[in-house]
Structure 1
Amino acid sequence: MRILLLLLTWCALALVPALPAAASAPASEAALRQALAAGATPVAKTPVSPGPQRTERIEAELVPMGAWVVPGSTAVVAIRQSIKPGWHTYWRNQGDSGGPTSLTWSLPAGVTAGDILWPLPERQRLQSLMNYGYSGVVFLPATIEIPAAATPGQSLSLRVTAHFYVCSDEMCVPEDLDLALELPVREDAAPLDARFGQAIQDVVASAPRPAAIEARAALSDGKLIVTANGGPLAGAAPKWAYFFPFEGGVIDHAAAQSGERGPQGLTLGVAAGRGLTTGGLTGAINGVLSTDLGAWEITAEPGAALTGVAGEGAIGDGEALQAKTKATGGPADFAKAALFALLGGLILNLMPCVFPILAMKAASLSRTAHDPAEARRDGLAFLAGVLATFVVLAGGLLALRAGGQALGWGFQLQSPAVVAALALLMLAVALNLSGVFQIGAGLQGAGQGSLSRLPGAAGAFFTGVLAVVVAAPCTAPFMAFALGAALFMPWPMALAVFLMLGLGLALPYVLISLNPRLLARLPRPGPWMETLRNLLAFPMYGAALWLAWVYGRQTADALALLFGAGLMLALALWLYGRVQAAGPGKGRAAGIGALLALIAALGLGALAAKAAPAKADGAGASAHLSSDAWSEQAVQAALAEGRPVLVNFTADWCVTCKVNESTALSSARTALALEQANAVYLVGDWTRRDDAITAELQRQGRSGVPLYLVYAPGKAEPRILPQLLTEGVVIDALKDAAA
C-alpha cells in the first residue's frame, strides 16, 4: 500500500506543470503532505552545502545580514530569491492563486527561528485574477535567536527547506530547495555582511510595521469599508491607497479599491470576498495599508467609521502607479533601451571623456585618408575593439551582479589600481604622440609611430578598447534608462543593449572610414601630420593628470607613489626612444637603463595600486554648499524634522558630476535657496565602491552617477532631477519641496 501511495504522489507531482495556476500548486502540496502523513517515508536528502541552489525557474540562497553573530543576540538571515523573468513567487496572502513561501528549519540546539518579515508585495494581475507576490530578486528576512551558550570561535550550522510556488501566466510549479548557512560566532559587534548585509537591512527597514494608526472595518452592501486615522495618516494627503489583507477571502482581490481622504486619515472601499459575504464580519481584519506616503500594518476592528477620514478628495488604489515594474525583457522595453543606447553612444562622441581618444583617431584617420582599403580596415578594427570591450565590461558587471555584488556602470574606475594603471597608460600614449618613442617605427609614412598605429589593425583595435574604458565616466548621464533597464533584462538582451551603446560610440568614425568621398576631402599626408600628432598629445597628458587627481581622491597620501611611477615610466620610454634612434646593435647602455627604469615604474605602480583608501568625509562636493555624507538614516532624520533633503550622488571620475557641481551646485543662489527652504544637502560619494549607494541607485532605476534627488517632508518618494543640472532646476525643486 505504501509503494502504491508513493507512486500516486509522484504521478501527481509530475502532472503539476500541466495544471492551471489557480489549482495545481496547492493540490500538489496537499497530496504530498497527505502521503507523508499516511506513513510514506521521504527519500533521504543529500547534505547541502552553503551557497545558492537552483532549479529551472528560481535560485535561492540562505544569507546573513551580519558578518557573524554574538552569543545571546538576535540575528537576521534571509532567503534570497532570484526568480527567472516571466515567473514569480508569492506573499503571505497569495491572492487568487498560487501559495505563500514557507520555511522548514533544522537548527542547532537552543537556536530558534522567527517568522518571515514580509516585504511589501507586487500586485500581479492575471486576466480576472489578482495575485500578490514577488519577481526578480527578493529577500525574505527572518530572525534567529542565538543562545547565550554559543561558543565564540565556532560556527552555527543553519539548515532550512524553502517551499516555493513558482508561477508564470501559464503554469505553477512547487519547488523545494534545501539551503544551508554557516554562521560564525564572535564576541564583538558584527558589521554588515559584505555581500548582502545592506540589502537585507534595507528590506528590514522598509518592511511594513504597525504604526499608531487606528482602524475600523464594516460591511455595507457587499463592500468592505475600512477607515483609518491617526499616526502617519494625520495631516497627510495620500494620492492613493490599497489594502492588502493577510488572509484570503476577505476581499475580492481583483476588484478596484477606492475611497477618499480626510484631515486625519482615509476611507477605503472594496468588494468583499467570499469569506465575508458568506460568514459575515466576525472579528478584526489584519493587513497592510499601502499608500504613496508609506505602508503600515493595521488591525481593523469591527465598528462604525472613524472621524476625520473623508471630505478632502477622492483617492484610488493607484494600481497603474504602484504596480512595480517586473523584470524588464519584453520586446518593446528592449527596443526602447537599444534605441536609447545607440543615441547615447553617439552623444558620447561630444563628451570630454572621449576627447583624448578622438584625438588619437583623428591622427590615424588623417594618415589613412587616401588609402581607402586601410581606412576601412582601421574603421572595422576600431569597431571590433569597442564592441569587444563593451562585452567584457558588461559581461563582467552582469556576472558579478548575478553573484550578489553591488556594482554599477563605471565600476572599474572605483578601483584605485585601475585608475593608476589608466593614468600611466595615458602618459605612455601622450609620450608616444610627442615622439619620445615609436611603436611600429619600421612602417612607412608620417605619423605611423603613434600608439594608435600598432602594426596592422591592432592599433585601431587597441584604440577602441581604450575609448570604452575612459568613456565610462561620461556614459551614465545619457544612459540612465538604457543601462538601468539592461541590468534587469535577461543577459542576452542586456549584452545587446551594451553593444548598441558601443555601436553608437564607434559609428561616426566607422562611417567616415567606409566612405571614400568623405576621405578624399581630407588633406593629403605631409609634414603637417607630425605637427598634428604632437599637438594631439596634450589631451592625453590632460587625461593622465585627471586620472591622477581621481587616484589622489581615492587613496590616502599615495599620490607620490603614482607620480614616482609616472616619472620612472617616462624615463624608461625616453631611454627606449634613444635606443630606437641609435639603430640596431647600439644604445645598449640606454636599453639597460630603460629596463631598470621600467622595473622601478612597475614596482612603484604596484605599491600605488595597493594604497589604502582615503577616509570618506562625504562633504566638499560643492565649493559653496556645506554638505553631510548621505545615508538612508540621514535622509529619514531630516524628513522627520520636517526639512527637505537634496541628495547628490556623485563621483570624482564622473565628469558630468563635476561640471554640475561647479555650476548649478556651487552658486550663491543655490546656497540661498537651500537656506530659505531649511533643506539638508547630502552627498553620496561613489568615487570608491559603496554598496549602500549602489543599492540606492538601483532602487531609483539607475546604474550610475550622477543622480540628484529632492525629498519633501510627507512624501515617500523623492523627485528625480535631470542629470544635466541648471541653477533654476535646483532652486525650483527646493521651493516645491519646502512648500
Structure 2
Amino acid sequence: MHQDRTGARRCRCWNALLTRGFAFLAVFALLPAPMGFSQSTKGEPPAAVSPVPKNLPGNAYVKVRVMSEETTLPAGGTGYIAIQVKVVDGWHVYWRNNGDSGAPVVVDWRVPEGVTIGECQWPVPKRYAQPGDILDYIFEGSVILIFPVTVSADIAPGTEITIGGYVQWLVCSDVCVPGAAEIRFPIGIRSASESGKQTPFAKVFAEERGQHPIPMTDPAAKIVSATWDELALVIRCEGAKSMTFFPYEAFVTPQPKEILKSGHVEGAEMKIPYDEKALGAAHVVGVVEITKSDGSIVRVLIDVPGPEKAVTE
C-alpha cells in the first residue's frame, strides 16, 4: 500500500509538471522571436517582429503596468522602474524559483542603445504546498518587481527614451494558463548633476524595498547565522518564533533536499539538508524569512560557500 500511495503522488506531481510546463512553453511559441535589429539612436527600442498575442488565456487574470520612482533617469547614472503584476483573486503567479511546478514571471526587455536594465529585485514569495508533495513559491494579489536602469552618459539630457519589452507569465488556479503583455514606457533623461523629482509611485518603491531581503552584512542581519553541519545548512536566529527558507533557482545554487519539510520550522533554528552537489559550490543562496517573538519580520539573503569536504562514514 505504501508503494501504491508513493507512486500515485509521483504520478500527480509529474502530471502537474507536464501540464504547467507545456502551458508556459505555449507563451514562447506565440510570442515574437528574439529581435536582431540594431538599436535606435532616437531613444526608441528596436521594433517588434510582430505584436504580442492579445488572446492568450492568462491575460484575463493578470494586469501589468510600469511605473518609475522618479520622473526622469540620470544620464551617466542609475534610476529605477518597476512592473506591477496584478492577479485576480483565486489565482497566482510565480517567484524567480517557481518550485516543483509553474514558471516564473519573465521580462524580455527592449531598450535603446546606451540603456541597460539590471537584475530584478524580487520580493519574498509565499510557500504553496499541494497534494503529491508539490511545493511552489508564488505571489497572489499584486507583486511589484523593481529593476535598476543605467543610462549612458552619452545620452543627452532632455532626450526622451522609450523602455519596451514583453512580460510573460503562467497564472494558475485549478488550471494554469499562459499570458503575456507588451510594455512601452517613455521617460526623459536629466543631467547627472540635477536632482530627480519623485513620482506619486515613489512611496510604492520605498514600501517594497522594506519587504526585500537584506544582505548578511547588514547590521540588522547580525542576529542570523548560517553554517554547515556536514551537508546540512544550519540557519539560526536569536529570538525567532518561526523561520522559512526560499532557495534561489537551480542554475544559481544547488537545491536543498526535503525542502517541503525542512524549509519551514517553528523555532530559532532550521537545518536544511543538501546533497553532494553542494560540496565546493561557490554560492549556496536563498532567502530566510524570520518572524520574531515580537511579531516583526526580518528577511535575510543567505549567500554562503558550500561545504568543503565530503561526508565520511
Q: TM-score, normalised by structure 2?
A: 0.72
Q: Deviations over 1:132-183 (max 9, x none)?
A: 1211111000110012122233311000211211111x11122121111011
Confirm whether residue 192 of structure 1 aligns to residue 163 of structure 2: no
2:97 aligned residue:
93
Q: Deviations over 1:77-98 (max 9, x none)?
A: 1111110111111111112211
Q: 2: CA distance between counterparts of 1:204 and 1:260?
A: 26
Q: Deviations over 1:14-51 (max 9, x none)?
A: xxxxx954333333444775899x99xxx943399xxx
Q: 2: CA distance between counterparts of 1:167 and 1:211?
A: 34
Aligned pairs for 1:399-548 within 5 A: none
Confirm whether residue 24 of structure 1 aligns to residue 19 of structure 2: yes
SS in 2 for 1:185: strand
| Cα distance change on mapping 1:24 and 1:281 into 2, 3 Å | farther
| Cα distance change on mapping 1:279 and 1:145 into 2, 3 Å | closer
2:70 touches 2:196 (CA, 8 Å); kept in 1? yes
SS in 1 for 2:209: helix
SS in 2 for 1:115: coil
Confirm whether residue 74 of structure 1 aligns to residue 69 of structure 2: no
Q: 2: CA distance between counterparts of 1:98 and 1:218?
A: 32
1:65 touches 1:197 (CA, 8 Å); kept in 2? yes
Aligned pairs for 1:112-261 within 5 A: 112-127=116-131, 128-168=133-173, 170-187=174-191, 188-194=194-200, 196-212=201-217, 214-218=225-229, 224-228=232-236, 233=237, 236-248=238-250, 249-256=255-262, 257-258=264-265, 261=268
| Cα distance change on mapping 1:178 and 1:32 into 2, 3 Å | closer
| Cα distance change on mapping 1:162 and 1:35 into 2, 3 Å | closer
- Letter matched to residue 287 of structure 2: V
Q: 2: CA distance between counterparts of 1:97 and 1:78?
A: 26
- Letter matched to residue 22 of structure 1: L
SS in 2 for 1:26: helix
| Cα distance change on mapping 1:165 and 1:101 into 2, 3 Å | same
2:284 aligned residue:
285
SS in 2 for 1:69: strand
1:46 aligned residue:
51
1:65 touches 1:201 (CA, 8 Å); kept in 2? no
Q: Report the Cα offset of residue 225 of structure 1.
A: 3.7
1:289 touches 1:296 (CA, 8 Å); kept in 2? yes
| Cα distance change on mapping 1:190 and 1:238 into 2, 3 Å | same
Identical-pair percentage? 23
SS in 2 for 1:78: strand
Q: Report the Cα offset of residue 281 of structure 1.
A: 4.1
Q: 1: CA distance between counterparts of 2:182 and 2:28?
A: 17
Number of equivalences: 258
Aligned pairs for 1:320-469 within 5 A: none
2:68 touches 2:199 (CA, 8 Å); kept in 1? yes
Q: 1: CA distance between counterparts of 2:125 and 2:23?
A: 24
| Cα distance change on mapping 1:45 and 1:33 into 2, 3 Å | closer
- Letter matched to residue 258 of structure 1: V
Q: 2: CA distance between counterparts of 1:20 and 1:68?
A: 47
Q: 1: CA distance between counterparts of 2:103 and 2:70?
A: 30
Q: Report the Cα offset of residue 114 of structure 1.
A: 0.4
- Letter matched to residue 165 of structure 1: L
Q: 2: CA distance between counterparts of 1:80 and 1:125?
A: 25
Aligned pairs for 1:541-580 within 5 A: none
Q: 1: CA distance between counterparts of 2:229 and 2:18?
A: 31
Q: Report the Cα offset of residue 253 of structure 1.
A: 3.6
Q: 1: CA distance between counterparts of 2:267 and 2:211?
A: 25
1:218 touches 1:302 (CA, 8 Å); kept in 2? no
Q: Structure 1: any 5+ residue segments left out of the alignment?
A: 1-18, 49-53, 262-266, 305-739
SS in 1 for 2:155: coil
2:11 aligned residue:
none
Q: Deviations over 1:37-73 (max 9, x none)?
A: x99xxx943399xxxxx92110001211112222112
Q: TM-score, normalised by structure 1?
A: 0.32
Larger relative helix fraction: 1
**What do you get for the CA RMSD once the two structures are aligned?**
3.2
Q: 1: CA distance between counterparts of 2:98 and 2:185?
A: 28
Q: Report the Cα offset of residue 197 of structure 1.
A: 2.2
Q: 1: CA distance between counterparts of 2:203 and 2:59?
A: 26
2:289 touches 2:300 (CA, 8 Å); kept in 1? yes
Q: Report the Cα offset of residue 99 of structure 1.
A: 1.1
Larger relative strand fraction: 2
- Letter matched to residue 288 of structure 2: L
1:58 aligned residue:
62
- Letter matched to residue 143 of structure 1: P
| Cα distance change on mapping 1:35 and 1:142 into 2, 3 Å | closer
Q: Deviations over 1:487-543 (max 9, x none)?
A: xxxxxxxxxxxxxxxxxxxxxxxxxxxxxxxxxxxxxxxxxxxxxxxxxxxxxxxxx
Between 1 and 2, higher relative CO (CA 8 Å, sep ≥ 6) is seen in: 2
Q: 2: CA distance between counterparts of 1:95 and 1:180?
A: 30
